[in-house]
Every structure is written in structure tokens, then in C-alpha cells.
Amino acid sequence: MGATGAVGQVFLDIVQQRKFPASQIRLCASARSVGKKVTVNGEQIAIEVATPKLFSEVDIVFIAAGSDISKAMAPIAVEKGAVVVDKSSAFRMDPNCALVVPEVNGDDLVGHKGITSVPNCSTTPLVMVLKPLNDRLKVRRVIADTYQSVSGTGVEAIDELRTQTAQIVKGEPVTKQVYPHQIAFNLFPHIETFKENGYTTEEIKMTMESRKILHLPNLAVSATCVRVPVMVSHSESVHIDFEGRITPDEVRKILSNAPGIKVVDDPSKGVYPTPLMAEGKDEVFVGRIREDASNPNGIAMWLVSDNLRKGAALNGIQIAEELLRRDLVGRKARV
């Protein structure tokens, strides 16, 4: 569901690249796309409307169509016997939902209640780095300031950045439809909705989801989430305080051996991750690993990952692969 969206399109690319073992793929999207055809694995697939009947005919339902759709449809899909892999934030903090980054907490899929969720695109790279480090030395505090691309909002925001940029290049007035402020040649510390405590829901997610995924219910995490005029990939400047001293070399070694992470860290040669180099790649890229200048027990680093892939579609497919590997897909078990 959401086959024509920014995440949905990448999802279908990855399904083909990874040869995901589907005997049949069915695609859903909003009413205006119904009947439109999309080619997957050389086969033309017509977009359908999602119905309870359709859910009863499939094993796994991927939803990347916004929280409201997830809230309405996921319980129906589960009732009809499918396992849901949901990209939205609708169920992530629900105790009955398995919120999973397979490299970090794949075990949390065991005993799932039908709905599994893909974490927020800025949470996933952070927990992938925190997990192996916390296994070595307890993490006390995390500060993360983000640089998030417009594709995190969706295709309409990619269009907005393109349109505004072209308007400025041509000297025309800038029009705004998606964001409250111009995004071309500008940026703003505002992603999703502000809450009473002055944090956005995006920032709160980074704290709450990290705690749930890492099983560290009291982990101190502070985030500032910023939208930047970049098309794809989210970057994060991260400062981690540990309960003791750990050297940058040791951190580099631990992360080099961690699944799904690629250390790209030779800054004096201009080698560090950038959004452009991470676009279309599966790994979380880590560079600028150094002692935090404000704390001898701290490490600072720079993370970049493709928010549409590891931040969304890829992680969803990896959850499905993990469900299959562990024989946790309900219908399959029933058959």
C-alpha cells in the first residue's frame, strides 16, 4: 500500500534488487492511481484498491501511505491473517507492535501480534550505531542534530524543492505548497508537529523509539530535527557520552564490524559521508569519528543514510525477510 509514493517506488526497486521471494505481488494506492500499471520483475501489475478480501489473499502487507491509512487498514489486514510491516508512526510505540531494525533487535519479532513497524528514518541509523557501542560500554547520553532531506516528506516535497529552485534560477516569485517556509536555499528546525514541551513529534520519536528498540527505557536522548534543501539522505551530527573512556580507534573498529554500517572516515583526504554519496545505498555511513571535545568520555561522529532505503523501504523488506527466515509469517505457518 502506497506503491506510487516516494517510499513505495524505492520499495519496488529493492524487491527486485534483492529478489524478494514473493510468489505474487499486489499493489495498492489511492483511488486516483487505481488501474495504473507498474512494472515489477518484468511484469505489469495494475494498482488496486485495498480491501479486506485482498488482505485475506496475501501473507505480508507493507504499508507506506501515511499514519491515518495505517491506523484504518492495519488491524483489518491482521484480522484477515496477514502480517503487517508498517512504515508509519501509527503503531510504533504500541506495546503490541514489534518496532524492529533487524540488525539491532530482530529477536523482538518473536511472538509478534501481527503488526510490525519500521522505525522513523532518523532513528534507524542512530540505533544501528548505538547498539554495538552500548554492548561494549554503556551509553549515558546522546545528542543528535539532524540534516533531513525533503524526500522524507514525500514526492510532493521533492517537487516543491525542484519547483522553488527552478523559480529562483529563473528569477520568478517562489510559491509554497508543502512547507510553511521556502525550502530552496533555506532550512528550518521543524519536522512534523510541535508539542507542549517545545519538541517536535519527529524529535520525540528519536528519543522514544531509540529507547524501545535498544531496550534502554531511560536512555537520555536529545534531538533537533532540521529540514534541509537536499533531495535524498538524512545526515546526523551525533555526540555520545559513555560511562567511561573509549577511543575513536576502538569506535571505528566496533562500527566497522557492525552489520549494515560502513565507516567512511579519512577526513584529511576529504573522505566522510555526504547525502549525495549515500543516496541509493543500503548502508549507514559513519565518519568524522573523534573524541568529543567537550567530554573526555564522549565521542562525536557524523552519520548519513538513504532515508528512503534503510530509513524506510529497505528496513521494511529486511523485517519481512527476517519474519520469513524465522518462520513467523502467520498464513505461511497456517498453510
The x, y and z cell numbers of residue 16, run together, are 527486485
The minimum distance between CB 237 and a second copy, in angstroms, equals 4
The minimum distance between CB 313 and a second copy, in angstroms, equals 21
Any catalytic annotation for residue 28? Answer: no
Nearer to a second copy, 49 or 271 (CB): 271
Is residue 298 close enough to count as binding a second copy by CB under 8 A?
Answer: yes
Nearer to a second copy, 92 or 252 (CB): 252
Select from 10-18, 33-41, 97-105, 139-147 the region that touches a second copy (CB under 8 A): 139-147
Judged by CB under 8 A, how many residues of this single chain contact a second copy? 59
The x, y and z cell numbers of residue 169, run together, are 534560477
* Contact pattern for a second copy over residues 278 through 297, marking x by CB under 8 A: ---------xxxxxxxxx--
The x, y and z cell numbers of residue 242, run together, are 559513555
Percentages of the chain per state (helix, strand, coil), in multiples of 5 = 35, 20, 40
Q: Buried b / exposed e across 134-145, counting CB within 10 Å, b at 16+?
A: beebebbbbbbe
Among 88, 151, 207, 210, contact with a second copy (rule: CB under 8 A)? 207
Site for a second copy in 150-169 (CB under 8 A): 161, 165-166, 168-169
CA gap 71, 73 in Å, rounded: 6
The x, y and z cell numbers of residue 139, run together, are 551509553
Select from 51-59, 71-79, 175-183, 312-320 the region that touches a second copy (CB under 8 A): 175-183
Is residue 272 close enough to count as binding a second copy by CB under 8 A?
Answer: yes
Is residue 276 close enough to count as binding a second copy by CB under 8 A?
Answer: yes
Any catalytic annotation for residue 121? Answer: yes
Select from 15-23, 108-116, 222-230, 312-320 the region that touches a second copy (CB under 8 A): 222-230
Is residue 275 close enough to count as binding a second copy by CB under 8 A?
Answer: yes
Greatest pairwise CA separation for the chain in angstroms: 62
- The CB density around residue 178, as the number of other CB atoms within 10 Å, is 16
Is residue 237 close enough to count as binding a second copy by CB under 8 A?
Answer: yes
- Decide if 302 contacts 286 (C-beta within 8 A): yes
Is residue 59 close enough to count as binding a second copy by CB under 8 A?
Answer: no
Site for a second copy in 67-126 (CB under 8 A): none
28, 97, 112, 121: which is the annotated catalytic residue? 121
Q: Where are the beta strands (DSSP E) in 118-163?
A: 139-147
Among 52, 189, 259, 280, contact with a second copy (rule: CB under 8 A)? 189
| Coil vs helix vs strand at 244 | coil
Is residue 142 close enough to count as binding a second copy by CB under 8 A?
Answer: yes
Q: Where are the beta strands (DSSP E) in the chain?
A: 27-28, 37-40, 43-48, 60-63, 83-86, 98-99, 115-117, 139-147, 220-224, 234-242, 261-263, 284-291, 298-305
Residues 6+ apart with CB under 8 A from 248: 289, 290, 291, 299
Residue with cell 551509553: 139
The minimum distance between CB 3 and a second copy, in angstroms, equals 26
Q: Compute and round to an integer the Cα radius of gyration of the chain.
A: 20
**Amino acid letter, residue 254:** I
- Decide if 106 contacts 100 (C-beta within 8 A): yes
Select from 10-18, 21-29, 44-52, 265-273 the region that touches a second copy (CB under 8 A): 265-273
Nearer to a second copy, 76 or 168 (CB): 168
Bridge partners of 242?
Answer: 139
Residues that bind a second copy (CB under 8 A): 141-143, 145, 147, 161, 165-166, 168-169, 180-182, 185-190, 194, 197-200, 203, 207, 220-224, 226, 228-231, 235, 237, 239, 248, 267-268, 270, 272, 274-276, 287-295, 298, 300, 302
| Residues annotated as catalytic (active site), given as ranges | 121, 234
